[in-house]
Amino acid sequence: MKRKIVFTGGGSAGHVSVNAALIPEFQKKGWDIFYIGSYEGIERSIINTNFPEVKYLSVPVGKLRRYFAWKNLSDPILVIKGFLESRSILQEINPDFIFSKGGFVSVPVVSAGRSLKIPVIIHESDYTPGLANKLVFPFSKAICTTFKETGQFLKGSKSLHVGAVLREGIFQGEARKGLEICGFTGLKPILAVMGGSLGSAKINKLIERNLPVLLEKYDIIHFCGKGNINEALRQAGYAPFEFVNKGLFDLVTASSVVVSRAGSNSIFEFLALEKPMLLIPLSSKASRGDQIINAKSFEKAGYSRVIEEEQLTDELFLKEIAYLAQNREQIQNRMSRNKEFKRSNEMYELLVKQIDKISAAQ
Ligand X SMILES: CC(=O)N[C@H]1[C@@H](OP(=O)(O)OP(=O)(O)OC[C@H]2O[C@@H](n3ccc(=O)[nH]c3=O)[C@H](O)[C@@H]2O)O[C@H](CO)[C@@H](O)[C@@H]1O
Question: Least CB distance from residue 84 to ligand X, whole Å?
Answer: 26
Contact call for residue 266 and ligand X (CB under 6 A): yes
Strands 304-306 and 219-223: unpaired
Closest CA to 259 of 240, 233, 238, 280: 280
| Maximum Cα interatomic distance, the chain, rounded to a whole number of Å | 64
Q: Is 163 in the site for ligand X (CB under 6 A)?
A: no
Residue pair 60/105 in contact by the 8 Å Cβ criterion: no
Under the binding rule (CB under 6 A), the answer on residue 243 touching ligand X is yes
Question: Under the criterion CB under 6 A, does residue 292 sit at the interface with ligand X?
Answer: no
Q: Is-contact 12 197, C-beta < 8 A?
A: yes
Span of 50-58, 180-188, 192-200, 333-341 interacting with ligand X by CB under 6 A:
192-200
Give the contacts of 175 (CB within 8 A, at least 6 positions apart). Answer: 186, 250, 253, 254
Query: How many other CB atoms sit within 10 Å of the CB of residue 272?
Result: 21
Count H helices and E strands in the chain, helices first.
13, 15
Q: Residue 258 CB, nearest distance to ligand X (Å)?
A: 11
Contact pattern for ligand X over residues 222 through 241, marking x by CB under 6 A: -x------------------
Q: What 3-state DSSP class applies to 181?
A: helix
Q: Tell me the closest approach of the beta carbon of residue 244 to ligand X, in angstroms.
A: 4
From the list 98, 132, 191, 194, which residue makes contact with ligand X (rule: CB under 6 A)? 194
Work out whether 270 is an interface residue with ligand X (CB under 6 A). no
Q: Known binder of ligand: residue 291?
A: yes
Closest CA to 197 of 63, 43, 54: 43
Q: Does 263 bind ligand X (CB under 6 A)?
A: yes
**Binding residues for ligand X restricted to 1-60, rule: CB under 6 A:** 12-15, 17
With 0-12 / 13-18 / 19 or more C-beta atoms within 10 angstroms meaning exposed / middle / buried, residue 230 is middle
CA atoms of 335 and 168, how far apart (whole Å): 19
Instruction: Report, in Å, the least distance between residue 259 CB and ligand X.
Output: 13
- The residue from 113, 119, 178, 196 that contacts ligand X (CB under 6 A) is 196
Name which of 23 and 118 has its Cβ closer to ligand X: 23
The size of the chain, in residues, is 362
> Footprint of ligand X on this chain (CB under 6 A)?
12-15, 17, 125-126, 194, 196-197, 223, 243-244, 248, 261, 263-266, 269, 282, 287, 290-291
- Annotated binding site for UDP-N-acetyl-alpha-D-glucosamine: which residue ranges? 12-14, 167, 197, 291
